[in-house]
């Protein structure tokens, strides 16, 4: 069941051999070349011990070709972040039952272990971010991926003649959209070299040159682009701009509307375990909102808000419990975890408890409140860390921000915020505190603020490393 993607590549190579499949650095890889490379890789992989193949490769056209080769050979590809510590990676590969692992720098070099080959029959095993501990393995079944790539194509057109930007690293779930759905349907995946991912001017020049039609990325990417554009550039090729992975601040929309004059804007919500589950298409006037709604569940998605053991029917806040046509059947190393029957009415189906708190308003709109574990009590009052972060991000000169609750001997817990300001910004805590106090209840104003030009620490899948921030505050 792993061959669907590989067969699609063969078919495109037959129907449109010269059409571009990948753009990587200065080269364009045609479907003919991609299919040939894939078949060569498949032949090489065939000799390896049975079972899944671990790939620690960084993103490149060669790495994409190699992954397709594994799939063509009927192998499951295990794709954790190559930046994880070595011991963590080895433990993950062993748990996944990967008989062979290819190296980060040389795709032809394998190490074979004595891992017991596992009986999985899925194309991909991705990992969770591990921001709360060791990453978990998430097997994604072929039918789910096929349904997902079809949804992507129906909604955004990633077929022949279309170019889709891929900003995320190869191990991110976002690649299911940007790379794998695109190759499934015959479009061209435009791979952003991780070397230029944080370089805003080069990034903007790359988009201007490769002229993608569909762009999906985390809010930070758009922040970098608008910094570089400075209100004077436009990217007229782009028909769809998608915000995902983090909350997009509506106040940041106006410069994006100028940069992308011909685009429809979407806010997409999802996670590795279930893939995407909600989509919202932006409307005029959304810049005035405090935050963007999640929108409506995708076709085939069942979603409930559960609070105190009951399904919320009216307005209120509850944990999002969701089932999608794309979802994993459960963690590989822990079949139950957050997966299981519906916590209120068991209908025999497998649901996923997202851990995300979602608000339904009087008007029936859904808004992400934050992670259930990001809701903390400070001096007796509920504080949503995400809300604090949104307000921090709205301040002039702020590029990135994170708020964490730090254990405190006296107060029990105190809020600490870390803010990355623009290089040329003179933002200090006096100004920022004034801005916060006009917008937040007093309990939500951080006791301590760190403001500097350096980037926030990130986990291997690009989420802000909160544990690191908390630890740096403990003494």
Partner 1 sequence: MSNTQTITKYIVREFLPDVEVNDLAPDYDLLKNGVIDSLALLRVVDWIAEEFDVSIEDLDLSPDNFRTVENIDALVASAKS
Instruction: Give contact residues for partner 1 (rule: CB under 8 A).
Output: 379, 410-411, 428-430, 433-434, 436-437, 442, 445-447, 449-451
Q: How far is CA 269 from CA 129, 275, 333, in A?
A: 16, 9, 25
Which among 4, 3, 62 has a CA at the least distance from the CA of 29? 62
Smallest gap from Cβ 468 to partner 1, in A, equals: 20
Q: Which is nearer to partner 1, 345 or 475 (CB)?
A: 475
CB of 408 to partner 1, least distance (A): 8
Neighbours of 373 (CB within 10 A): 13
CB of 9 vs partner 1, minimal distance in Å: 53
CB atoms within 10 A of CB 85: 9
* Nearer residue to partner 1 within complex by CB, 234 or 429: 429
| Min dist. Cβ of residue 437 to partner 1 (A) | 5
Whichever of 256 and 415 has its CB closer to partner 1, that residue is 415
CA distance 24 to 275: 26
In the complex with partner 1, the residue whose CB is nearer, 163 or 421, is 421
In angstroms, what is the minimal distance from the CB of 417 to partner 1?
Answer: 10
Q: Which is nearer to partner 1, 439 or 458 (CB)?
A: 439
Q: At closest approach, how far in Å is the CB of 423 from partner 1?
A: 15
Residues 366 and 293: beta-carbon distance below 8 Å: yes
Question: Looking at beta carbons only, is 47 or 430 nearer to partner 1?
Answer: 430
Closest of 100, 73, 107, 98 to residue 2, by C-alpha: 73
- Measured from the CB atom, the residue of 5 and 436 that comes closer to partner 1 is 436
Q: What angle do CA 119, 124, 129 make, to 5 degrees?
A: 115
**Cβ at position 472, least distance to partner 1 in Å:** 15
Q: In terms of CB distance, is 335 or 453 closer to partner 1?
A: 453
Distances (CA, A) of 323 to 38, 327, 344: 33, 7, 14
Dist CA 428 CA 145 (whole Å): 47
Q: How far is the CB of 357 from partner 1 (least distance, A)?
A: 24
Distance, CA of 431 to CA of 423 (rounded, Å)? 16
Per DSSP, the three-state class of 309 is: coil
Nearest to partner 1 of 13, 388 (CB atom): 388
Longest dimension (CA), the chain: 70
In the chain, helix, strand, coil percent, each to 5?
Answer: 30, 30, 40
CA 97 – CA 114 distance, rounded (Å): 9
DSSP class per residue in 253-289: HHHHHHH-TT-EEEEEEEETTTEEEEEEE--TTGGGS
To the nearest whole angstrom, how small is the minimum distance from the Cβ of residue 329 to partner 1? 47
């Amino acid at each position: 069941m792993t061959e669907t993607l590989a067969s699609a590549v063969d078919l495109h190579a037959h129907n449109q051999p010269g059409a571009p499949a990948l753009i990587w650095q200065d080269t364009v890889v045609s479907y003919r070349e991609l299919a040939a490379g894939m078949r060569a890789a498949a032949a090489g992989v065939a000799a390896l011990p049975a079972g899944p193949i671990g790939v620690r490769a960084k993103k490149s056209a060669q790495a994409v070709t190699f992954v397709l080769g594994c799939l063509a050979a009927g192998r499951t590809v295990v794709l954790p972040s190559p930046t994880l510590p070595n011991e963590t990676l080895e433990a993950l590969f062993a748990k996944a039952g990967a008989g062979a692992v290819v190296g980060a720098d040389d795709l032809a070099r394998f190490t074979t272990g004595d891992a017991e080959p596992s009986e999985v029959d899925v194309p991909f095993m991705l990992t969770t971010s591990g921001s709360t501990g060791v990453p978990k393995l998430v097997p994604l079944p072929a039918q789910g991926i096929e349904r997902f790539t079809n949804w992507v194509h129906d909604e955004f057109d990633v077929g022949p003649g279309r170019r889709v930007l891929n900003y995320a690293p190869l191990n991110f779930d976002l690649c299911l959209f940007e790379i794998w759905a695109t190759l499934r349907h015959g479009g061209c995946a435009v791979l952003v070299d991780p070397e230029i991912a944080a370089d805003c001017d080069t990034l903007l020049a790359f988009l201007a040159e490769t002229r993608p039609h569909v762009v999906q990325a985390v809010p930070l990417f758009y922040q970098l682009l608008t910094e570089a554009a400075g209100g004077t550039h436009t990217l007229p090729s782009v028909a769809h701009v998608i915000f995902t992975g983090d909350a997009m601040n509506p106040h940041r929309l106006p410069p994006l509307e100028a940069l992308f004059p011909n685009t429809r804007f979407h806010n997409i919500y999802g996670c590795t375990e279930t893939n995407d589950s909600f989509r919202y298409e932006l409307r005029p006037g959304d810049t005035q909102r405090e935050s963007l709604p999640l929108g409506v569940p995708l076709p085939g998605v069942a979603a409930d808000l559960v609070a105190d053991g009951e399904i919320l029917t009216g307005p209120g806040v509850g944990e999002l419990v969701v089932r999608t046509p794309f979802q994993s059947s459960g963690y590989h190393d822990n079949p139950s975890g957050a997966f299981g029957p519906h916590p209120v009415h068991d209908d025999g189906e497998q649901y996923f408890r997202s851990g995300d708190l979602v608000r339904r308003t009087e008007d029936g709109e859904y808004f992400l409140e934050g992670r259930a574990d990001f809701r903390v009590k400070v001096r007796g009052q509920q504080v949503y860390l995400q809300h604090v972060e949104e307000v921090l991000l709205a301040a002039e000169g702020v590029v990135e921000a994170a708020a964490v609750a730090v254990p405190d001997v006296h107060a029990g817990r105190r809020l600490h915020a870390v803010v990355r300001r623009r290089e040329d910004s003179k933002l200090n805590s006096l100004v920022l505190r004034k801005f916060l106090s006009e917008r937040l209840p007093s309990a939500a104003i951080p006791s301590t603020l760190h403001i500097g030009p350096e980037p926030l620490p990130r986990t291997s899948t690009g989420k802000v490393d909160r544990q690191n921030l908390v630890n740096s505050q403990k003494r």
